[in-house]
A = this chain, B = another copy of it.
Amino acid sequence: MKKLINDPHDVVKEAVAGFVAAHSDLVAAGPDPEELFVHRRGGAVPGKVGLVSGGGSGHEPLHVGFVGEGMLDAAVPGAVFTSPTPGPILAATKAADGGAGVLHIVKNYTGDVLNFETAAELADAEDIDVAAVIINDDVAVQDSLFTAGRRGVAGTVLVEKIAGASAERRDDLATVAAVATKVNERTRSMGVALHACTVPHAGELSFELAEDEIEIGIGIHGEPGRERIPMAGADDITDRLLDAVTTDLGLSGGEEVLLFVNGMGATPLSELYIVYGRAAERLAAAGVKVTRSLVGNYTTALDMQGCSVTVLHLDEELTTLWDAPAKTPAMRSET
């Protein structure tokens, strides 16, 4: 294992410190290093619903990279591939509360769901209204290593952007939660791994793939997917991912969608664009109109090679909110 790290146990602490130093115009760290979270510079916005997400580290820029105007108010990075505990989630929730309540955006992994629930109960005891949306966009498998039900993967970014815009225009907590739920319900993803990742403190590959095989339906922690198949061309792989997504989403033609090709961390941008091009062609051939796009490393799995394809079935409201301004370290858009 060769990584640009020092002590494997300091990876998250040091990476977050560097992140906050690089983006001190936008974000700051919470006051207690034992309850690590990142919040929007300047703190909670009075009267605005606060958005808090988090989860195991190793998926950067998710979640800390999306803290800032128009997206998250705070993000809680756990240890690598390990849920944060309720303590820092509660601290982040309090820091994000501007008096209008807080929405927890939680990827559907057992540890995350439990710890966010506990933090929500503790926040409730301190008179903070908390709602939660559980993200489960991954169509690959029903249950998995760390999950009951579908996993939450790259679609989380779309929820954070669109619910963030809803909060920014001062929608109330119930409305922001409904918007987030709507995005989740209209979003599906599936991924592929060409090569596994290496967790720093483990020091070895999270799983093994032969030189001529790939894993279709991979999870973002290297959890097993649907099947291992022989290495194939980008078009073939793209079709497998996209077909699973569009079938599950029930697209029949005539819809407008956002097409998102997400890199798992170690895949060149040029390859992501090859996948995007194929997926866009296939959608067009099926009469589905791609009106918005996103391509890049947004929800990674450390140094995994591979990508995922996400489709969000847009409507006018979601398109308007997607287009709203955002100013975060990892995503910016202007009016």
Taken together as a complex, chains A and B put the C-alpha atoms of A272 and B4 apart, in Å, by 8
Does A170 sit within 8 A of B, measured CB to CB?
Answer: no
For residue A11, which residues in chain B have a CB less than 8 angstroms away from its CB? 270, 274
CB of A134 to closest CB in B, whole Å: 25
A14 at the A/B interface (Cβ < 8 Å)? yes
**1/0 per residue A1-20: CB within 8 Å of B?**
01111100001101111110
Chain B residues, Cβ within 8 Å of A65:
269
Contact status B23-A274, CB under 8 Å: no
The interface bits of chain A over 309-334 (1 if a CB of B lies within 8 angstroms of the residue's CB, else 0) are: 00000000000000000010000111
Nearest residue, chain B, Cβ from A235: B6
CA distance A2 to B234 in the complex (A): 10
Q: Count residues of chain A with CB under 8 A from any CB of chain B.
A: 59
Q: Does A231 contact B (CB under 8 A)?
A: yes
Q: What B residues does A295 contact at CB under 8 A?
A: 18-19, 22
Secondary structure class of chain A's binding surface, majority of residues: mixed
- What residues of B have a CB within 8 angstroms of the CB of A265 in the complex? 266, 268-269
A214 to B211, CA, bound (A): 24
Residues of B within 8 A of A16 (CB): 273
In the assembled complex, which residues on chain B have CB atoms less than 8 Å from the CB atom of A57? Answer: 270
Residue A195 interfacial (CB < 8 Å): yes
Let me know if B233 and A274 touch, CB within 8 A: no
User: Which residues on A are within 8 Å of B, measured CB to CB?
Assistant: 2-6, 11-12, 14-19, 21-23, 57-58, 60-61, 65, 194-195, 211, 214, 231, 233-235, 237, 259, 265-278, 280, 293, 295, 297, 300, 302-303, 305-307, 327, 332-334
